[in-house]
Amino acid sequence: GQNIDQPTEMTATEGAIVQINCTYQTSGFNGLFWYQQHAGEAPTFLSYNVLDGLEEKGRFSSFLSRSKGYSYLLLKELQMKDSASYLCAVRDSSGGSYIPTFGRGTSLIVHP
């Protein structure tokens, strides 16, 4: 199975940039997802990486290095509404599964 590691909590200031890291260990890497989850709500899809490099989508970008087992989510121009948990999920197809496994999530607190 996967071992997915993210920081538990981060704080940042409104308007700033924050980088949330995710490291993982898999034997059959087949994609990495980032989801945002506000307290008491459903996770919502942010980004997907399967090849090395940066994927940019508005204020959010996600980076992947498969050789390092490493990804980050970059949030620019932070807004108060970005306060949420950010979940890294990895798909490992080594056992024939295509089910994403979620990390514990990083709780981001944005303050004025």
Instruction: Give the residue with the Cβ less far from other proteins, 60 or 102.
Output: 102
The backbone torsions φ and ψ at residue 92, rounded to the nearest 5 degrees and listed phi first, read: -120, 115
In the 8-state DSSP scheme, what is residue 58? T
Per-residue binding string, other proteins, 26-55, x by CB under 8 A, is: -----x-x---x---xxxxx--x-x-----
C-alpha distance across the termini of the chain, in Å: 40
7 part of the interface to other proteins, by CB under 8 A: no
- Give me the residues paired with residue 3 across strands: 25
Tokens (6 digits) for 36 = 């945002």
Interaction with other proteins in 71-110: which residues (CB under 8 A)? 87, 89, 97, 99-105
Residues that bind other proteins (CB under 8 A): 31, 33, 37, 41-45, 48, 50, 87, 89, 97, 99-105
